[in-house]
Amino acid sequence: MVTRSLLRPLLDAIVLVAVVTLAWQGLYEYAGDVALTPPLETVSLALDLLGSARFWPHVRETGLAVAQGLAIAVLGGLSIGLTLGIHRLSGEVAEPILVALYSIPKITLYPVILLIFGIGMPAKVAFGAIHGIIPIIIFSMNAMRNIHPVYLKTARVMRLGPLPLATRVLLPAALPEVFTGLRVGFALTLVGTLMGEMFGSQRGIGFMLMRAMGSHDMATIMSVTLLLVLFATLVSVALLVVDRRLHRFG
């Protein structure tokens, strides 16, 4: 039974990959060389790219931008979100604004950021951060709000001081929701950074994609897209596993 429960998701994953690969191959047969490269060739192109010197400076650039943007989004998002969660009135005031900010096309703000920071790293970081920070704020605010009041009463009955209250009760109780926010925040920071690079940048993965499109370099477009999708999926699966484990206690 144990082997069966472990084998099943693996089998499902293999089926999923097989179906996607087949669909991809089918699309290639239909659209031909001009439009895309077939799966196997793309994998070998991607491996070549991973071994090439021209690829890594772009990865470094994007990686740095995402890391800095994420740091700002996490630190800013947690402190704002947790504060709004504790102070009920501020939370009520801010919530509709945050939801509206989440749903507007933030790319229209990119020119404003470019005008403020100029083309380069700071603009990318800022653009990634404004994408990532909003879900982190919303999730951590709700995490604090949704802590069961009886936990707080229990803590008072046990005469916990402010520090043990924060570290032993509030944090563990809010952690699952906060983590979900971080997971979504990571994904959106990556999206924001790449979008920024696609529009106004001279370096980075997004720029690489746009330049390849300009010169109709299908090999680069396909292999970069494949690597990005694989990377995003792997990180997301890892975060999702942690997320689900945290939520099991809740």
Partner 1 sequence: MKRSTRIRLWVIAGLVGGLEVLCRTEVIGRFTMIPPSEMILGLVRIVRQGDMNADIVATLGNVAVALVSAIVVGFLVGALLFVLPRVRRVIDPLLATYYAIPIFVFYPLLIVLLGLNRFPQIAIGFMLAVVAMIVNTLNGFDRVPQSLLKTARVYRMGRVRTTFLVILPCAMLYIFTGLKLAVAYSFIGVIAAEFILSGEGLGYEISFAYNNFENATMYPLIVLVIGLSALINMVLYAWEKKYLQRQTER
Residues in contact with partner 1 by CB under 8 A are: 9, 12-13, 15-16, 19, 31, 34-36, 89, 92-94, 96-97, 99-100, 102-112, 114-116, 183-184, 186-187, 190-191, 194-195, 198-199, 206, 209-210, 212-213, 216, 218, 221-222, 224-225, 228-229, 232-233, 235-237, 239-240
Q: How far is the CB of 222 from partner 1 (least distance, A)?
A: 7
How many residues does this entry show for the chain?
A: 250
Residue nearer to partner 1 on the CB measure, 158 or 237: 237
Tell me the helices (H) and strands (E) count for the chain, helix number first. 11, 0
Within 13 A of 159's CA, how many CA atoms are on the CB side?
0
Q: How far is the CB of 206 from partner 1 (least distance, A)?
A: 8
Angle between helices 39-51 and 2-31 (to 10 degrees): 100
Q: How far is the CB of 160 from partner 1 (least distance, A)?
A: 30
Residue nearer to partner 1 on the CB measure, 15 or 22: 15
Q: How far apart are CA 68 and CA 64, in angstroms?
A: 6
Q: How far is the CB of 237 from partner 1 (least distance, A)?
A: 6
Q: How far apart are CA 153 and CA 180, in angstroms?
A: 26
Q: How far is the CB of 78 from partner 1 (least distance, A)?
A: 20
CA distances from 167 to 73, 81, 175 (A): 22, 17, 11
Q: How far is the CB of 105 from partner 1 (least distance, A)?
A: 4
CA distances from 160 to 1, 149, 165 (A): 44, 15, 6
Identity (one letter) of the amino acid at 220? T
Contacts of 194 (CB under 8 A, 6+ apart): 62, 204, 205, 206, 228
Q: How far is the CB of 118 from partner 1 (least distance, A)?
A: 10
Residue nearer to partner 1 on the CB measure, 59 or 109: 109
Residue nearer to partner 1 on the CB measure, 139 or 186: 186
Residue nearer to partner 1 on the CB measure, 128 or 155: 128
- H-helix or E-strand containing 236? helix 218-248
Residue nearer to partner 1 on the CB measure, 155 or 227: 227
Contacts 24+ apart (CB under 8 A), 114-118: 114/200
